[in-house]
Amino acid sequence: MLFLTVLATGIALVPLASILVYVGIKGLPALNWEFFTQLPKAVGEPGGGLANAILGTIILVLLAAGIALPLGILTGIYLAEFGKDRLAPTVRFLCDVLTGVPSIIVGIVVYSTVVLTMKRFSALAGGIALAIIMLPLVARSTEEMLRLVPHSLREASLALGATQGRTIRSVVLRSALGGIVTGAMLATARVAGETAPLLFTALNSRYWPTGLDERIASLPVYIFTYSTTPYEDLHRLAWGAALVLVSMVLGTSIAARLAAKKVNGGK
Amino acid sequence: MNKGRDTFFLQITRLAALSIVFIIIVMAHELFRGSELAFSRFGLGFLTGSEWDPVHGKFGSWPLIYGTLVSSLVALALAVPLSLGVAIFLAELAPPWLREPLSFLVELLAAIPSVVYGLWGLFVLVPWLRDVVQPLLGKTLGFLPLFQGPPLGVGMLAAGMVLAIMILPIITAVSREVLLAVPQSQREAMLALGATRWETIRRAVLPYGRSGIIGAIILGLGRALGETMAVTMVIGNRPQVSASLFDLGQTIASVIANEFSEGFDELHLSALIASALLLFIITFSVNIIARLLVWKVSISQGVSRD
């Protein structure tokens, strides 16, 4: 029976290996100076790059993080430190509900609220959609990290005459900082690869980003559109984009985990 | 003065927490409001109608519901035995030095973006299915209605397989945690009775963690039901009900991804939002059931530990 479980583990790792190998082999030849500096060419013209999509993804992720990190961390603080009333269990429950909502539905909701109100597709709408996906992840990971802080630390600070707010800000948050940063990085990596919520919010663009109220290109949306066309040239660019995206996402999540281990190991 | 600042801080955090309540309320409100037109036009026929034809304004979502359920069930059928095997190996059998790197690798699977799974599925998995797997299945098991028809590569089987790979990490990770939470005394008692290691796992460890493992599986199901990009890229996107897994299909999420930005007439948009509402309700219920099951395990643990 040991053999069967080893077999299962082996089979489970085959797709992981296959995906990483293919993304590497097919993506690497597409990456050159042009890829990182040029705009996409019109269909049929050879060459061109996805520089605008790389920049667009970075802008979208920064927007999402700018909205979701403060909100999520404050929510986490509320859940872990203050939430003794009836609101806390409700929020915790709704966090779990929101985590389970398919990302395409977030796209629809942001479309019918933000996009229809602004009367245009925009980077801002895309950022909001990604932020909604990120928010519950950040809130719950922050809450868990704060709960790991030993009570004796809080009591020591209170005994010194600090108020509860002061204790949270200077003692509890400080000692949970490593964990909170790890959670934030994992959540950022997660939304960087999201495609579905961008389809009807940020849409796509062939040009450089010009403003937050304009539609904006992103790597995931380009991978989707290029891979579903019949052109070899665009498939090549899609693999290149996948390699860049996977490196960004896996790089961030591996770094986050290593950092977490270091913090925990140091204690 | 300090007191005042404290209250202010508390209010700020409470406001942030309320933002989540606000988002959920807006979400539900928009979905209900947007789907009104479709439900008032088609009534219950929206759920049972078997024709989804935007060109002629006919919107029955049964083919989408069918596609969503079948692709997810195929995914479960493939992923559950594998994930449980991996979880048992990681929690019970693997040598300690191997456990952490392996869990790490499985978690990496979860970090890969869905659109990259789709890309890989489209250019690597689909050709392999078309040239190797489907002809082989057709030859050996072709008498079953499940495996009939021309080998196209894209279709329900491809969608199910990509989904299986995508939900494997979550089922594995949660069941592994459940297995690790089984008290050591359970194992020792069984071993003391003279059971082998495998008998101990099968008769003591697995039954103890059963509801947690079922919770893990349902959590994976919730993930599979709502998955969009990878499915959209490999399922073939044709709304039809067919017994064969070789046939093309369509899921609720994939129809939205395909048609929402093109649907300009109001009825079409409303029908898409109505199917989004269906998906919301389905994944919501599935997730609640899963959480309750996993939660039950952790509570009973807390009690036994005290």
**For chain A, domain boundaries:** 2-265
The superfamily CATH assigns to domain A2-265 is MetI-like (1.10.3720.10)
Residue type, A231: Y
Helix (H) or strand (E) holding B53: strand B52-53
Instruction: Report the alpha-carbon distance of residue B296 to residue A213 in Å, rounded.
Output: 47
Residue the block writes with tokens 């898409």: B272
Q: What is the dihedral of CA A261, B107, B118, A242, to 10 degrees?
A: 20
Looking at residue B104, which CATH number applies to its domain? Answer: 1.10.3720.10
Domains: count for chain B: 1
Residue the block writes with tokens 């980003």: A209
Give the closest-approach CA distance of A60 to chain B in angstroms.
16
Does the structure show a pLDDT above 90 at B107? no
pLDDT tens per residue across span A15-60: 989 999 999 999 999 999 999 999 998 877 777 889 999 999 999 9
* Nearest neighbour of A113 by CB, restricted to B14, B26, B232: B26
ipTM above 0.90, yes or no: yes
* Nearest neighbour of B14 by CB, restricted to A78, A195, A203: A78
Range of the domain at B29: 2-305
Confidence of residue B146 (pLDDT cuts 50, 70, 90): confident
Which of B234, B237, B223, B231 shows the shortest CA–CA distance to B169? B223
> For B278, which residue in chain A has the nearest alpha carbon?
A105
| Cβ contact, residue pair B119, A6, below 8 Å | no
| Cβ contact, residue pair B21, A94, below 8 Å | yes
Q: What is the pLDDT of residue B303?
A: 44
pLDDT tens per residue across span B234-289: 999 989 898 889 999 999 999 999 999 886 688 999 999 999 999 999 999 998 88
Residue type, A20: L
DSSP code, position B146: G
Return the number of other C-beta atoms located less than 10 Å from residue A26's C-beta: 20
Return the number of other C-beta atoms located less than 10 Å from residue A255's C-beta: 14
Confidence of residue B1 (pLDDT cuts 50, 70, 90): very low
Instruction: Report the alpha-carbon distance of residue B86 to residue B89 in Å, rounded.
Output: 5
Instruction: Report the alpha-carbon distance of residue B104 to residue B93 in Å, rounded.
Output: 17
Q: What is the pLDDT of residue B304?
A: 42
Using left for φ > 0, alpha for ψ between -120 and 50, and beta otherwise, residue B248 falls in: beta
Q: What is the pLDDT of residue A267?
A: 41
Q: What is the pLDDT of residue B301?
A: 58
| Cβ contact, residue pair A19, B112, below 8 Å | yes
Q: What is the pLDDT of residue B299?
A: 64
Give every residue of chain A whose pLDDT is below 50, as ranges. 266-267
Residue the block writes with tokens 């293919």: A22
Model pTM? 0.93
